[in-house]
Amino acid sequence: MNVPVELKYSREHEWVRVEGNRAIIGITDFAQESMGDIVFVELPSVGDTVEAEEPFGVVESVKTASDLYAPVSGEVVEVNNEPVDAPEVINQDPYGKGWMIVVEMSDPSQLENLLSAEQYKAMVEEQA
Amino acid sequence: MTEVKRTPLYNAHVAAGAKMVEFGGWLMPVQYEGIIKEHQAVRSAAGLFDVSHMGELKISGRGAREFIQKLITNDVSRLRPGCALYSPMCNPQGGTIDDLLVYQLEDDQYLLVVNAANTEKDYNWVRSQAPATVTIENVSEVTCQLALQGPAAQGILQKITAINLGDIRYFCFVYGRVEGVQCLISRTGYTGEDGFELYFPAEHAEALWQAILAAGQWEGIKPAGLGARDTLRFEACLALYGHELTEEISPLMAGLGWTVKFNKPAFIGREALLKEKEAGPTHRLVGVEMIDRGIPRQGYPLFKEGRQVGWVTSGTFAPTLGKNLALAYVAVEWAATGGELDVMVRHKLLKARIVPKPFYKREV
């Protein structure tokens, strides 16, 4: 299981890469691995706002559909169309080409509620 | 519920990296490498499935034939030793208790192969209906079942058996050795491809599993899990119990009218089914293709002009076709091919179209 140390993680298996006031968001390697072949992704549009801990999109594998939860609140300023057009990129490269949205954070202090790589790893191992 | 059961191949699956899930009371591999890769291997080469979770009931004794004739809706009189028949088994209301395969083993001996989750229910039902001269034996736990499916299946299996597989016709079987293990070898399956199902004593499971995988290495055989089994049967529009068939759904409604033989002697459910046939069905099982982006899933409602007219029984991304498809029951007045409906996906109505079944048919 790949859990890059420089990222922050939600309990719902999203990752966040912080760049200034912006949060780049995707789903973790553990999440893609547990879902299996991902075949459908629905993301918000640029200009939409997302709320921390509320669904912002959907990812579906052959067998299941799962909501995507926003790790932080803010306005969507970029959306990656690659996983929308070719969802398998999330299986192949969840932390790279499989990124989903960039959020301009309205309350960066929410980052403190997220897990470190170490904490996330411990949580996943406990669930397994 | 009793403890979750493991097939004799449990260790082999775990060693092969399978993701194990509970299905019908058994811990089964849902996938090894990935559902789509396994699905494609079956369509283009071959896949090997452990389907030992399927239930097997042996019915024997004087009057076994007449008894089975009464139990199921299809006509057993067409069977002879060495052949198999697909049939629903109905309750007196015409609802489907299960769908199954009947193998005629000998003159007065038959094997019913039933869905894992229904094994106990079926066993109890069959016993409750049986005359005194007939013996019913649940041999599920001592029987291993493998399914080798795909265009390369025959070539692969032929390498490890002296039986001439080309002589086995569709829905027929022979007894013979495969890699030294005595098997019932039948040309049947649940994927829409050509292939074989092998039934044999559980103690040989691992040896035979490994031998078939080794024999098919060059052809590109893959072990395949229940995930691919489901997408394969779905593309071929083969009914799955608990989805297209339930105790409330009759085989007529499910489009299985060809398995309900009214011109044979009386059988359980006949009166109800005849009534339904004469009245005409209220709903029809149709194929649905999404027009808007979205994946229809079991239980999603279908709408026409704001009114609910049906529901999805199975739906997913179909790997061979690259489309989001569903099987759904739709009120007959809206069930014509080409008609447009809305599928409710997460509180949104998405456009879809009724398309012909099956979604996939292999070229012969």
Q: How far is A39 from chain B (nearest CA, A)?
A: 7
Residue B312 pLDDT greater than 70, yes or no: yes
Q: Report the relative pairing of strands B173-178 and B195-201 from DSSP bridges.
A: unpaired
Nearest to A40 among B31, B231, B317 (CB): B317
Which pLDDT belongs to residue B192? 98
Task: Kindly state whether B35 is in contact with chain A, defined as any CB-CB distance less than 8 angstroms.
Answer: yes
Q: Tell me the C-alpha to C-alpha distance, in Å, between residue B333 and each of A75, B45, B314, B355, B362.
A: 46, 41, 21, 15, 31
Show the domains of chain A with their CATH numbers.
8-109 (2.40.50.100)
Are the Cβ atoms of B297 and A40 closer than 8 angstroms? no
Give the minimum alpha-carbon distance from B316 to chain A in angstroms, rounded to a whole number. Answer: 6
Question: CA torsion, points B66, B70, B74, B77, in degrees to nearest 10?
Answer: 10
Local confidence band at A127 (pLDDT 50, 70, 90 cut-offs): confident
What pLDDT was estimated at residue B2?
64
Mean pLDDT of B84-108: 98
> Across chain A, what does the average pLDDT equal?
97
Q: Tell me, yes or no, whether B150 lies in a domain.
A: no
Hunting for tokens 């999203």 — which residue is that? Answer: A14
- Rounded to whole angstroms, the Cα distance separating B147 from B134 reads 30
Which of B232, B290, B295 to substitute to test the interface with A, most A CBs within 10 Å?
B295
Residue B5 domain-assigned?
no
In a domain, B301, yes or no: yes
Distance from CA of B20 to the nearest CA of A (A): 11
pLDDT band at A98 (very low <50, low <70, confident <90, very high): very high
Spatial CB neighbours of B73, under 8 Å, sequence gap ≥ 6: B87, B88, B89, B90, B251, B259, B260, B261, B267, B269, B273
Residues from chain B that touch A61, judged by Cβ atoms under 8 A, are: 35
pLDDT of residue A102: 98
Contact A37 B36 (CB under 8 A): yes
- Taking only the tens place, the pLDDT of each residue in A1-54 is 899 999 999 999 999 999 999 999 999 999 999 999 999 999 999 999 999 999
Is the Cβ of B80 closer than 8 Å to some Cβ of chain A?
A: no
Chain-chain contact of B293 with A36 (C-beta, under 8 angstroms): no
Mean pLDDT for B221-241 is 98
Report whether pLDDT(B1) > 90.
Answer: no
Q: Which domain holds residue B291?
A: 282-355
List CB contacts (< 8 A) between A91 and chain B. 34
Residue A89, pLDDT above cutoff 60: yes
Name beta bridge partners: B315: B326
Tell me the two tokens of residue B51: 């389907």
Q: Which of B28, B35, B39, B240 to mutate to test the interface with A (most CBs of A within 10 A)?
A: B35
**Chain A contact for B295, CB < 8 A?**
yes
Confidence of residue A91 (pLDDT cuts 50, 70, 90): very high
**Angle made by CA atoms B1, B2, B3, in degrees to the nearest 5:** 125
**Which residues of chain B neighbour A92 with C-beta distances below 8 Å?**
none
Q: What is the edge-to-edge ordering of all strands in the sheet holding B195-201?
A: B173-178, B181-186, B195-201, B143-149, B47-50, B222-223
Sign of the CA dihedral running A36, A37, A39, A44: positive
* B133-188 pLDDT per residue, tens: 999 999 999 999 999 999 999 999 999 999 999 999 999 999 999 999 999 999 99
A interface mutation test: which of B40, B234, B316 has the most A CBs within 10 A?
A: B316
CB–CB contact B317 A39 (8 Å): yes
Query: In chain B, how many domains are there?
Result: 1
User: Distance between CA B313 and CA B329 in Å, rounded?
Assistant: 7
pLDDT in tens, B351-362: 999 999 999 999
Does A1 contact chain B (CB < 8 Å)? Answer: no
Q: What would the mean pLDDT of B27-33 be, rounded to a whole number?
A: 97
Domain assignment present for residue B333? The answer is yes
Whether residue B219 is contained in a domain is answered as: no
User: For B181-220, how does the pLDDT look when each residue is reduced to its tens digit (9 = 90+)?
Assistant: 999 999 999 999 999 999 999 999 999 999 999 999 999 9
Mean pLDDT score of chain B, rounded to an integer?
97
> Cβ separation of B317 and A63 shorter than 8 Å?
no
Q: Is B258 exposed, middle or buried (0-12, 13-18, 19+ CB in 10 A)?
A: exposed
Check which CATH number belongs to the domain holding B312 and give it. Answer: 2.40.30.110
> Least CA distance to A32: which residue of chain B?
B34
Q: Give the best residue of A39, A40, A43 to mutate against chain B (max B CB count within 10 A).
A: A39
- Is this prediction's pTM over 0.80? yes
Q: Do the Cβ atoms of A62 and B324 come within 8 Å? A: no
Residue B117 has pLDDT above 80, yes or no: yes
Give the strand pairing for B47-50 and B222-223: parallel
Q: Could you write out the DSSP letters of every residue in B47-113?
A: EEEE-TTSEEEEEESTTHHHHHHHHBSS-GGG--TTBEEEEEEE-TTS-EEEEEEEEEEETTEEEEE
- For B262-297, how does the pLDDT look when each residue is reduced to its tens digit (9 = 90+)? 999 999 999 999 999 999 989 999 999 999 999 999
B224 touches chain A (CB under 8 A): no
Please name every residue paired with A38 in a beta bridge, in sequence order, or none if there are none: A61
In degrees rounded to 5, what are phi and psi of residue B311?
Answer: -150, 150
Q: What average pLDDT does this structure show over B93-121? A: 97
Give domain status of residue B327, yes or no: yes
| Residue B315, in any domain of the structure | yes
Question: What part of B 333-362 touches A (C-beta under 8 Å)?
Answer: 346
Residue B8 has pLDDT above 60, yes or no: yes
**CA of B108: how far to CAs of A116, B64, B95, in Å?**
68, 6, 28
